[in-house]
Structure 1
């Protein structure tokens, strides 16, 4: 990593509370690279050689079997992936590819495991990210089991609206086919779900979504009672 890049990366949640010597050790062995859209970063079953930290852009975690793909997660900055494989030194359970031009920090997995043993702040940050990842999985599984397709879409829109500043507007960053896969739908079902939500306070214009009646959308979508 170039010296000019280090101050920005040092503020990332995973590294900001580390001791300076340990942080410099991590940075000395890391690479900050820009990848084009639709580039495969790693494949399911590969051993985790690097911890990936998405600094800018958008990435997709997906699984595939028997000629079929399904989106498991859409990764937005700033977050690491897949930390569990790095910590356990086990193969990836998902593949990853960029959805847009993305800036990704690559930290050697062996170096991460070694420094975790020496730096309490990095250990605590790692535990925190793993815990958040677990909670995301629980939310996604609950969503899939307890909500119909249009309700899942409405709940996702409400989550994104909060994350994007609670302005009543949502920018869909991923293509709708990826969004459909994430929600366990076909693209046709996603279009129908948007149509249903049009009767419950949502207006869609391409990738721009407006929440014009929040109460109606919440009543229909039944957002999580426990907020993030």
Structure 2
């Protein structure tokens, strides 16, 4: 069923599709499907080749993986993230399972149409390359964060990222349940609880999903922000748009999700 002009106008504003030529845009949306999730909806399954590229328009998407009975949440994505773009470009099995939270809205574009359009549309191909580069940068930042820092430093920098992205407030709302946050930070739930307790002398107060930073300067001294790891560091100010191109990737886990839909 053809899309209404209002929907096509919305799609045209999506970062990946904004650069596409008129012909490419028509090709990409001709057989696309707009999926509105009434409940948790699986978008990709780890180890399987997906026939579609998913672009998150509204809501939230979680990326998860598991092995030998153990599972982990690797990332939470916010609009307008692409979901497993590399798999769509390579026509390769997905490396993670992706699912959309209830009330999410996702545009599903045939992966083959994307590959064909990118081969003939330089502007679209560059947009794909830029998106993939942002994903790569996010993965490198996450890897450095995990390998070069202890758990308290990771937690402190996470809270500083929250402070920046919630308008500089000292009273923050955690965007996900603490077990998910622990997984994202490479910690166990028990270690996360001990981490918050260890930060109490630095003015960190936790009350359910609410965290108050009484001494953000002291927290920053412990965190020791690094522009090559943290999107909240000063490097972003000198490179307008860079954080946006890397946003919502493996280190960006800070979007609001209603309580009843939190992963």
Offset at 1:160? 2.8
> For residues 165 and 123 of structure 1, what CA distance do their matches in structure 2 show?
34
- Structure with more relative contact order (C-alpha pairs < 8 Å, separation 6 or more): 2
What is the RMSD of the two structures over their aligned residues, measured on CA atoms? 1.8
1:156-212, CA deviations, whole angstroms, 9 ceiling, x for partnerless residues? 222233233333343322221111111111112111112222222433332233333
Q: 1:20 to 1:137 in 2, by over 3 A?
A: same
| Correspondence for 2:57 among 31, 55, 58 | 55
Q: TM-score, normalised by structure 2?
A: 0.81
C-alpha spacing 1:177/1:99, structure 2 compared with 1 (3 Å): farther
Question: Structure 2 unaligned runs (5+)?
Answer: 234-242, 244-263
Name segments (4+ residues, structure 1) moved above 4 Å. Answer: none
Matched, 1:207 2:201: no
Map of 1:1-228 to 2, 5 A cutoff?
2-3=3-4, 4-226=6-228, 227=233, 228=243
In 2, are the aligned partners of 1:43 and 1:96 still within 8 Å (CA)? yes
Structure 1 portions without partners, runs of 5+: none
- In structure 1, C-alpha distance between the alignment counterparts of 2:36 and 2:104, rounded to whole Å: 6
Question: What SS is found at the alignment partner of 1:52?
Answer: strand
Paired residues in the alignment total: 228
Aligned residue for 2:120, secondary structure, equals coil
User: In structure 2, how many angstroms separate the alpha carbons of the residues matched to 1:60 and 1:111?
Assistant: 25
Q: Secondary structure at the match of 1:223?
A: coil
